[in-house]
Structure 1
Amino acid sequence: MSTSLTAKFDTRREAEMTVERLVQQFKIERTDVFITAEGDENTVGIEEAGSDTEAGGPSPQDRDDAQLAGRVVVSVDIEDDSLADEVRSAFAEFDAAEVEEG
C-alpha cells in the first residue's frame, strides 16, 4: 500500500539534507520526493542557514536577502510501508516539524 509522509523544516538546508538522506541512504527515487513552500511565497524557511547566511570564503559578499516566508515542506511518496520508519527517522534527524501521514 502506498502512502505519503510530509514534514516542515525551518531551513532550506535541513530540507535538502533530508532529501539527500532519503535518496542516498534509503534509495528513494527523487521523483517520489517533493519540496514546496509552506505558503504562496518563495521561501528558504523561517531561519537563515547554509548559503542563505553571511558569506564565508570563498564567497565575496555577505547576503541579507534570504526569503524567510514560511517553512520548507518535504513530501515523500512511498510504495513500501517498511520505509515509513526510515523516512520518519530522516525527518527527525534534521529537525522536522509537523510530520504527517496521508
Structure 2
Amino acid sequence: MNSTIERTFSSRREAELAVERLVQEHGFERTDVFISSAGNENSAGNTPSGGDTATHLEPQRTDAPLSDPISVSVDVNDDSRVAIVNRVFDEIAAG
C-alpha cells in the first residue's frame, strides 16, 4: 500500500532530526522524505532552535522567519514501515 505520512514540528531542528533518524537509522530513502513550511510563508518553525536561540555569548536572533510549523512527510509503500515513521515522529515530538 502506498501512503504519505505527515507531521508538523515546531522547529526546523525537530524536523531535521526526524529526517535524519528515518534515513540514517531506519534506511528510508532521502528522496521519499520531504520538508516544507506548513504555511504559505518561508519558515524556520514557530519556535527558535539551534543558532536562533540565545546563549551566554549571544542574544537570541530575531531575523529567523518564525511563523509556521515545519511539515515533514514521508512516502511509504510498505505497511510495516508506517509504524516506524509514526514512532520516530512521536519520539521527536515528545522530546
Letter in 2 for 1:9: F
The answer as to whether partners of 1:32 and 1:76 remain within 8 angstroms in 2 is yes
The structure 1 residue matched to 2:85, chosen from 78, 84, 87, is: 87
TM-score where L is the length of structure 1: 0.83
Unaligned 5+ segments in structure 2 are none
Higher helix share: 2
Identity of aligned residues (%): 45
Distance in 1 between residues matched to 2:59 and 2:69, nearest whole Å: 25
Distance in 1 between residues matched to 2:30 and 2:55, nearest whole Å: 30
Residue 93 of structure 2 aligns to a residue whose secondary structure is coil
Deviation at residue 49 of structure 1 after TM alignment = 0.7
TM-score where L is the length of structure 2: 0.89
Residue 7 of structure 1 aligns to a residue whose secondary structure is strand
Unaligned 5+ segments in structure 1 are 97-102
Distance in 2 between residues matched to 1:9 and 1:43, nearest whole Å: 11
The answer as to whether partners of 1:10 and 1:45 remain within 8 angstroms in 2 is yes
- In the alignment, does 2:1 pair up with 1:5? no
The residue number in structure 2 matching 1:36 is 36
1:56–1:23 CA distance, 2 compared to 1 (3 A): farther
Runs of 4 or more, structure 1, over 3 Å off, are none
Deviation at residue 52 of structure 1 after TM alignment = 2.0
